[in-house]
Amino acid sequence: MSESRLEVFLARIYVDQTAREQFLADPRGEAMRAGLAAQEIEQVVNIDRDGLELFAHSLGHKRARKHGNQKNQHA
Amino acid sequence: MSADRFGLGWRPRLAAGILANLDRIDIVEVIADDYFRAPRHERRALQTLAAQTPVTLHGVSLGLASAVPVETRRLDDMARLCSEVAPEFWSEHLAFVRGGGIEIGHLAAPPRTEATIEGALANLARAKQIVGIAPQVENVATLIDPPGSDRDEASWLAAIVRNSESRLLLDLHNLHANAVNFNFAAKGFLARIPVERIATIHLAGGKWIGRNGAQRLLDDHLHDVPDPVYELLEEVAARAPQPLTVILERDGNFPSIESLLVQLDRARQAVAGGRARTPHLHRHEVAA
């Protein structure tokens, strides 16, 4: 189930700012500590950093809108 | 007369406008998740709506495109609602939305690999088994090039649609956004997917966002449908021989209902324009 380990890893760096900052500071080390397979480590080391920051930022805005009691924010 | 249909996404803020204009709206798409835990009177109201006008149910949280099986209780919720409402069809996104107990809070594009294709196919088979009807499956927009992918979106999506019973809900703003964000030709994408399996089209708008100099188009459903999306709609209508259901989605920053109906009229014109380009594919409409 290496693939699901990758999904867990991605969910964490998308949502958790501390995890994301640790990953961006040491991508290979964090990927290895997460137990990703060798090929997956190479892929996440070369992650689309701009996209990661923008996606994480948009998630933060989305959560803020939801907490602002706006129902029906769907993708 | 064409069998193509044009409708709106049901939102509480649009309800009065939709109900007052059912002569210009062929079908209504309802967010299923809003009703899974809704009180009985709200579910009854949805049943009443479905008795008045064609309704489809749209899921946003199953997380079908994952190497991990969708939880049975989530499929049971959808099955129960489908049983109560008897929608024309139901749909869900090809996304992953959680991992290791962490809810992402949005539709994330999964790693495009053989493992997520197989996972999605297994989830779709279970969805059909539990709900009784296979869902239509929707392509998602992404701001990040999905990490861990070993193939592009068109080949990944085509593999799932060709190897499942599900038909495709093609979101043209998601396609447009991914094309401009990751520098591929949206019309070339259409040439690589099974257009004959497209049943439904989503239209929406978005806005450009930036950070540290990087710019990406965000699919936010808060803006009007842009011109390139209508052009893609015409292209799909030209290529697809089958009738299409076209749904306009708007989640906030609501304009007047008339403004949304004008956008639906423009969608009708785009489909008619596409059909006119390839009359040999659409003889059934002339005969109807």
Write the ipTM.
0.89
Do B143 and A16 lie within an 8 Å CB cutoff? no
Name which of A9, A43, A75 is nearest B106 (Cβ-Cβ): A75
pTM for the full predicted model? 0.94
Task: Name the residue with higher pLDDT: B285 or B253.
Answer: B253
B55-58 and B27-31 as β-strands: parallel, antiparallel, unpaired? parallel
The stretch B56-78 carries a mean pLDDT of 96
User: How many domains is chain B built from?
Assistant: 1
Q: Of B107, B182, B180, B99, nearest to B139 (Cα)?
A: B107
Q: What is the mean pLDDT of chain B?
A: 95
Strand, coil or helix: what is B199?
Answer: strand
Interface of B with A in 45-104 (CB under 8 A): 58, 60, 66-68, 93, 96, 98-100, 102-104
DSSP helix/strand/coil, B133: coil
**B102·A8 Cβ contact <8 A:** yes
Q: Check pLDDT > 60 for residue B64.
A: yes
Q: What is the pLDDT of residue B282?
A: 78
Q: Is B212 on the interface with A (CB under 8 A)?
A: yes
Residue B32, pLDDT above cutoff 80: yes
Residue B13 DSSP symbol: G
CATH number of the domain bearing residue B211: 3.20.20.150
* CA nearest neighbour of B273 among B282, B250, B9: B282
Which has the closest alpha carbon to B174: B186, B192, B165? Answer: B186
Judge whether B116 and B65 are in contact, CB under 8 Å. yes
pLDDT confidence band for B213 (50 / 70 / 90): confident
Joined together, the tokens standing for residue A26 give: 């040491």
Q: Do the chains contact at A51 and B142, CB–CB below 8 Å?
A: yes
Q: Where are the domains of chain A?
A: 2-67
The single residue listed with the structure tokens 């709506």 is: B49
Task: State the best of A23, A41, A72 to mutate against chain B, taking most chain B CBs within 10 Å.
Answer: A72
Coil, helix or strand at residue B27 = strand
Residues of chain B with pLDDT > 70, as a percent, come to: 97
State whether B100 and A53 contact (CB < 8 Å): no
**Residue B254 pLDDT > 70, yes or no?**
yes
Q: B68-122: per-residue pLDDT in tens?
A: 999 999 999 999 999 999 999 999 999 999 999 999 999 999 999 999 999 999 9
Of the partner residues A43, A71, A75, the one whose CB lies closest to the CB of residue B148: A43
Instruction: For residue B255, count other CB atoms closer than 10 A to its CB.
Output: 12
Nearest Cα neighbor of B27 from B48, B46, B52 is B52
- Give which of B106, B223, B248 to mutate to test A binding, by max A Cβ within 10 Å: B106
Query: Residue B2: pLDDT band by 50, 70, 90 thresholds?
Result: low
Contact between chains at A71 and B12 (C-beta distance less than 8 A) = yes
Domain with B272, as residue range(s), is 5-287
Non-local CB neighbours of B206 within 8 Å, separated by 6+ positions? B141, B173, B177, B217, B218, B219, B220, B221, B222, B223, B226
B211 confidence band (pLDDT: 50, 70, 90): confident
Q: Which two tokens stand for residue B41?
A: 């009177």
Residue B285 above 80 pLDDT?
A: no
The count of other CB atoms within 10 Å of the CB of residue B48 is: 9
Res. B181: pLDDT tops 90: yes
Four-point Cα dihedral B146, B236, B106, B143, nearest 10: 40
Q: Which residues of chain A have pLDDT under 50?
A: 1-2, 69-73
Continuous segment of H or E residues that includes residue B136: strand B136-138
Question: In angstroms, rounded to a whole number, what is the distance separating the alpha carbons of residues A47 and A60?
Answer: 20
Strands (E), B165-279: 168-171, 198-203, 207-211, 214-218, 245-248
Residue with tokens 């990406």: B216
The answer to whether the CB of B139 falls within 8 A of the CB of B179 is no
Cβ A59 vs Cβ B104: under 8 Å: yes
Copy the structure tokens of residue A72.
């029906």
